[in-house]
Structure 1
Amino acid sequence: MVKPGTIEGEDGRCRCAWHQGLADYERYHDAEWGRPVTDDIRLFEKICLEGFQSGLSWLTILRKRENFRAAFAGFDFEKVAGFSEADVERCVVDAGIIRHRGKIVSTINNARRAVELRDEFGSLARFFWSYEPKPEERPAVMDLETLRANPTTAVSVRLSKDLKKRGWTFVGPTTVYAFMQAMGLVNDHLDGCYLQPVVEAERQAFTRP
């Protein structure tokens, strides 16, 4: 049975409909979205790319992701923290990425803040996973209506405020919640998506940093 918010693929499996049946988007949905992540580079990359997504679709960013990685030293925040004004100008004229000066400058700023955060907490993962919602802060099963009605949560608001207090930019509550969804801090695969129980099992077996 195909439940609301899901679509059946050519393989007979039902998935969250947001991947639109597009092959690259489906691969992202299946292999990455919602899987628990502790790698600091991936965490930094994702929160920066979510900032670039603001006002755009994630598919646009996903299809430019390799270009972003090339432009921003693989999102190694130690390296990005050392970027100069010349690097800003290089990125501004790079047609392979989103040429938004404010977001480019924000990524460099956030790299410097990430170094500070890593030095304080030992890793970005330890900081971000401290904001994993408690069971009572999450609905038992995420449905389409809940997902659409609540692009932010009380936890994403708190995390956003904490990051902003630490000097991060382009980290509003909606951006932060999208980051939490993608990095597995929550499991928002819809009821009826074949990956919902798969990801939940991964989260149950996952060792928090």
Structure 2
Amino acid sequence: MAILAISFCLEKRIKITSTIKSRSRMSYCTAILNMQSEEKKALHKKYHDNHYGFPIHDDDELFGRLILEINQAGLSWETILKKEQSFRNAYSNFNIEKVAEYTETDRERLLADAGIIRNKLKVNAAIENAKAILILQKEFGSFEKWLAHNHPKTKEEWVKLFKKTFRFTGGEIVNEFLMSIGYLRGAHDDDCPVYNEILKQKPMWKK
């Protein structure tokens, strides 16, 4: 992967000094380049270079990305990246069928797991959203096909649809989720080397 250019990706923001993801004008790419800590830079660069904005075709991974974006609400993306493996372990590697069958015992287990975000609303959202995705899979064949069926939509239209379909899916969460999987443009600026890598995979926003 080429060295990241100083570019201005439109939406993705990360925590630098505050506890909430910044919505300042500094782009994700620029913020990474400005990081003094090589450890932090490597953590974010791995996600930025290999995942952010790239299409996802596996329903369980789509579900997992939705879980991560929901859990980021009110926190830094860095916190979520550090806990990603713990989320995978806690939520059965994001297996939709397994999470949909979680019992009250599982809810209590998740709320006691220090490796993830112990927020009752977010835990309940993961379980209820898994159930909702099973319904979509039955009707459309897959979660991905449901997304494709509703494409294209404006951000506002997507937010209305997600709020009607899922739990804990406000505007910022929906926007970040859809940008992160290639349904909305804005993850990377045209000058960012990663942008061209994403184009090769034909993201939905390009269609």
- Global fold match (TM > 0.5): yes
1:192 partnered with 2:191: yes
Q: Offset of 1:200 from its aligned partner?
A: 1.8
Asked whether the 8 Å contact 2:155–2:175 carries over to 1, the reply is: yes
Deviating runs (4+, > 4 A) in structure 1? none
Q: Equivalent of 1:16, from 17, 29, 34?
A: 29
Deviations along 1:14-53, one digit per CA (max 9) or x if unpaired, are x822435510110111111111111101111111111111
Asked whether the 8 Å contact 1:187–1:200 carries over to 2, the reply is: no
Number of equivalent positions: 177
- The residue matched to 2:154 in structure 1 has which SS? helix
How do 1:91-170 and structure 2 match up within 5 A? 91-133=110-152, 155-166=154-165, 168-170=166-168
Q: Equivalent of 1:5, from 4, 8, 13?
A: 8
CA distance in 2, matches of 1:93, 1:40: 27
Asked whether the 8 Å contact 2:69–2:173 carries over to 1, the reply is: yes
Q: Offset of 1:131 from its aligned partner?
A: 4.0
**TM superposition score normalised by structure 1:** 0.77
Match of 1:139 in 2: none
Equivalent residue letter for 2:49: D
Match of 2:79 in 1: 60
Deviations along 1:143-179, one digit per CA (max 9) or x if unpaired, are xxxxxxxxxxx7232222223223x111112111101
1:45 partnered with 2:64: yes
Asked whether the 8 Å contact 1:19–1:29 carries over to 2, the reply is: no
CA distance in 2, matches of 1:176, 1:103: 14
Sort the Cα spacing of 1:89 and 1:204 in 2 relative to 1 into closer, same or farther, 3 A.
Answer: closer
Deviations along 1:39-85, one digit per CA (max 9) or x if unpaired, are 10111111111111111121111110110111111111100000011
Asked whether the 8 Å contact 2:96–2:130 carries over to 1, the reply is: yes
RMSD (CA atoms): 2.3
Sort the Cα spacing of 1:119 and 1:19 in 2 relative to 1 into closer, same or farther, 3 A.
Answer: farther
Match of 1:183 in 2: 181
Equivalent residue letter for 1:57: S
- The residue matched to 2:183 in structure 1 has which SS? coil
CA distance in 1, matches of 2:203, 2:124: 37
Comparing 44-53 with 188-197, greater Cα deviation is found at: 188-197
